[in-house]
Amino acid sequence: MNPTTNPRLTSWIPVPADSHFPIQNLPYGVFRRQTGGPAAVGVAIGDQVLDLSVLAARDLLPGGYFDRPSLNAFFAAGRAVQSGTRAVISRLLSADEARLRDDSALRGQALVAQRDVEMLLPCEIGDYTDFYASREHATNVGTMMRGADNALQPNWLHLPVGYHGRASSVVVSGTDLRRPCGQTKPADAPAPLFGPSKNVDFELELGAFIGTGNDLGTAIPADRTPDHLFGVVLLNDWSARDIQAWEYVPLGPFLAKNFGTSISPWVVPLEALEPFRVAGPKQDPEPLPYLKTKGPEGYDIQLEVSIQGAKMDRPHVVCRSNARYLYWSFAQQLAHHTVNGCNLRPGDLLGTGTISGPVPESFGSMLELAWRGTKPIAFPNGETRSFLQDGDRVTMTGWCQGDGYRVGLGEVTGVILPARSV
């Protein structure tokens, strides 16, 4: 067992059992203190942020990685540096370790309440790829578009389908987005129309950040994932379904997706998720050799989505799903992405695609939950939704449940604002 994930490990910082950030987690993020000063890298522990740049300045951690506004350098440092750093942080925060606990001056410099910081994008994202890795989601959407007998395209069970997204519009949780404008083609319209999308949707996803990359012309084997994937965030790939329906043939989504993708600010290392590995769905037909993995590659991450409209007094949960439903794993996504020699770089982001489960309440988008508008979602205040309205706040959260503790991903949230006039 990795000592940093030992369920009996406790911290001298009080952490409630339902906190997303116990000592077994130790996710990394980039923050700026509300009192001012430069951005730095920190680790979440309970309701606190541990400023790693302060510890590095005291030679308690390696220098050169944490006094900067991104995690890219740390992502690139490699697994040995990352695991060693995590081990030191875990030891400094452990209940029986006095070095930081009993140094009140250092503690005052290194710890800051999460409520007193602004969370920033965790890294500079050079490239963003979005996959389509949930069989349930692909089947649901295919059934709507082509009928149940032709729901999955012929290639879907043989490879992780994906497309390249837009990295510049990936934003951190708390960033509100404007309703996008574009072309749509209603069935009864003789020609396309231009204007704000009427069918804005969320997509419940996970995102994985590349740690060390690969050289152009080389491939990353599926069983080498831990050497190249650093960690995981929540991801909401906002979508404009009516724009998408008109534009996606023949090359796929464009304006329907690139107006915004939101991620949670805390990057949970794969090391913290190791105790929650599970087998994914049985793959039939058997994947080609380069996509085969040797052990369980799924993760038991419980996922929830809630919506709160402008006239609602509280959020309402509309979806409960789980990452274990993903048909194509992170390892397989990475192997397929690079098998042709494509080079990935530290900070590149891979999205899973919408994560839907086998029952209606586990569907990971409004397109599915309201079944293309035929089954509107009912809210406690009497309102209904087929797609998002202006003023709606969407919040996603996720966690792995341990024995008396949970390893969480925090949350990603944002509001859909009215479209700008063009």
pLDDT at 85: 98
Global pTM value: 0.97
Q: What is the pLDDT of residues 37-95, one digit of tens each?
A: 999 999 999 999 999 999 999 999 999 999 999 999 999 999 999 999 999 999 999 99
Q: What is the CATH code of the structural domain delimited by 3-120?
A: 2.30.30.230
What DSSP line would sit under 303-333, residue for residue? EEEEEE-TT-SS-EEEEEEEGGG-SS-HHHH
Q: Which of 20, 137, 336, 337 is catalytic?
A: 137
Q: Cα separation of 12 and 401, whole Å?
A: 21
pLDDT at 331: 97
pLDDT at 15: 97
**Closest residue by Cα to residue 5 from 404, 272, 269, 270:** 272
Please say if the pLDDT value at position 1 is more than 80: no
pLDDT at 421: 80
**Averaged pLDDT, 371-397:** 98
Q: Cα separation of 122 and 340, whole Å?
A: 28
Q: What is the CATH code of the structural domain delimited by 128-417?
A: 3.90.850.10
Amino acid at 225: T
Active-site residue, 228 included = no
With beta carbons less than 8 A apart as the criterion, state whether 327 and 132 touch: no
The residue ranges of DSSP E strands in 97-228, in sequence order, are 111-113, 117-120, 128-131, 162-164, 170-172, 177-178, 181-184, 193-196, 200-201, 204-210
Q: Cα separation of 49 and 39, whole Å?
A: 13
Please say if the pLDDT value at position 226 is more than 90: no
**Averaged pLDDT, 293-306:** 96
Tell me if 3-120 shares its fold with 128-417. Answer: no
Please say if the pLDDT value at position 22 is more than 90: yes
Please say if the pLDDT value at position 422 is more than 80: no
Q: What is the pLDDT of residues 313-328, one digit of tens each?
A: 999 999 999 999 999 9
**Averaged pLDDT, 396-403:** 97
pLDDT at 410: 98
pLDDT at 140: 97
Q: What is the pLDDT of residues 97-145, one digit of tens each?
A: 999 999 999 999 999 999 999 999 999 999 999 999 999 999 999 999 9
Give the start-to-end residue ranges of the domains of the chain: 3-120, 128-417
Q: Cα separation of 119 and 69, whole Å?
A: 11
With beta carbons less than 8 A apart as the criterion, state whether 184 and 197 touch: yes
